[in-house]
Structure formats: C-alpha cells, structure tokens
C-alpha cells in the first residue's frame, strides 16, 4: 500500500532520524483524515484520534516505537444498528529490526513477541495509528439495552422453535418418560 492509498500517513525516513536521540511525535489527524479513517475501517465515525510517542534507536541499526493511542469512535450496534460510542486508550509498541530472522521449515509458528517487524526504509506512524485503531475497535459493539431476544428463522406460517425444542436430547427425554410410564 502506498502512502497515496492510506487514509492517513505521517512517514519518517529512517535515514533522516537522529541516530542517538529519540524523535518525538504527536499525531492528531484533521477532520478530513478522521473521515477517511472511519471509511477505511467501516465504522460510523472517528471523532478524535491521537498517537503520541517516540521513535528511538535501539542498538546499532534497529529502531523502537513506543506510543499511546487515544481515540473516540462511533460504530453501529451489532443488534440494533444504533450508534455506539467507544473510547480507546492503548499502548503501542513496535520493534523494527534491521536483520529480522527468517522463519525456517515447513510449519511456521507465530513468535511470542508480535511487536517485531522488519525495518523498512520509511516508518509510517500514521499508518501505525490506523492499524492500531483497527485492532483496538470492539469486534461486536452493542448499544446499552440492545438484546437479541428470541430471534426466529422460521418459514412463514411455521411455528418457530423454542429453546426446549432445539435441545439435542429433548425428544429422547420425552421417549424415556413415556417408556417409564408404560412399565
């Protein structure tokens, strides 16, 4: 994905970063960028988002990004589609390694430290903001009081099944009761 297709971008060219001291940043996308981010994430709106932190050298060629992501977003409730506002406050940690170990073998296990990634020529803090926001969004936002109730997928004219009828051994229990009465 190029920076032209990202909903928000704030690139830092690694060769331009100070090699001995941290580079601090404080990103707060404007209203247009917030609207693009909301559209890219498929949510109703992003009212505010902020990624505040620093990029600092780690060893001779590696870099670390440590930041805090705060945001206010609105998503549609999964039950009623009513707007659900959510506040997000997350710690963001990334380790950019100049020599990322290549996984070997046929099967590859996920590393324990998922904050490590290969060092790119450009570290895009704006893209990291969008990615971390996407990961922090509630998967199933639910408005207060929204309840699934008794959902029915019965055909027109057919009686919907209740909890008792869908129990796997409900019929067997009835047969056993009937058999014991007959004995």
Mean pLDDT of the 156-173 span: 66
- Percent of the chain predicted with pLDDT > 70: 77
pLDDT tens, 76-97? Answer: 999 889 999 999 999 999 999 9
Q: Residue 115 — pLDDT band, cuts 50, 70, 90?
A: confident
**2-11, 92-101, 118-127, range with greatest mean pLDDT:** 118-127
How many residues belong to the chain?
183
Q: Which residues contact 71 (CB under 8 A, 6 or more apart)?
A: 46, 48, 49, 50, 87, 88, 133, 136
Q: For the whole model, what pTM was predicted?
A: 0.73
> Are the CB atoms for 51 and 92 separated by under 8 Å?
yes
Query: Rounded to whole angstroms, how far apart are CA atoms 146 and 29?
Result: 32
Q: Domain residue spans in the chain?
A: 11-136
34: Cβ contacts below 8 Å, ≥ 6 apart: 45, 46, 47, 48, 49
CB 74, CB 47: distance < 8 Å: yes
Average pLDDT over residues 7-24: 92
By C-alpha distance, which of 122, 118, 116 is closest to 99?
A: 118
Where are the alpha helices (H) located in the chain, listed in sequence order?
Answer: 31-41, 125-136, 163-166, 170-182
**Paired tokens of 170:** 């409900």
The pLDDT of residue 1: 47
Neighbours of 167 (CB within 10 A): 11
- 128 contacts 51 by C-beta, under 8 angstroms: yes
Flag whether pLDDT at 13 surpasses 90.
yes
Give the chain's count of helices (H) and strands (E): 4, 7
Q: What percent of the chain has pLDDT over 90?
A: 54
pLDDT digits (tens, 9 = 90+) for 36-82: 999 999 999 999 999 999 999 998 889 999 999 999 999 999 988 99
What was the pLDDT predicted at 176? Answer: 76
| pLDDT for position 103 | 63
């Amino acid at each position: 994905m190029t920076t032209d297709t990202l909903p928000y971008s704030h690139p830092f060219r690694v060769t331009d970063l100070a090699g001995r001291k941290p580079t601090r940043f404080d990103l707060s996308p404007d209203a247009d960028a917030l609207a693009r981010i909301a559209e890219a994430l498929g949510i109703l709106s992003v009212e505010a988002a902020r990624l505040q932190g620093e990029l600092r050298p780690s060893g001779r060629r590696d870099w670390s990004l440590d930041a805090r992501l705060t945001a206010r977003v609105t998503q549609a409730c999964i039950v009623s589609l009513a707007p659900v506002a959510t506040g997000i406050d997350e710690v963001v940690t990334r380790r950019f390694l100049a020599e990322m170990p290549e996984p070997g073998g046929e099967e590859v296990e996920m590393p324990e430290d998922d904050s490590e990634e290969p060092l790119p020529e450009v570290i895009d803090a704006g893209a990291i903001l969008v990615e971390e926001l996407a990961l922090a969004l509630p998967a199933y936002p639910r408005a207060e009081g929204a309840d699934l109730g008794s959902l029915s997928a019965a055909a027109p004219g057919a009686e919907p099944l209740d909890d008792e009828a869908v129990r796997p051994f409900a019929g067997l229990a009835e047969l056993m009761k009937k058999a014991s009465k007959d004995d």
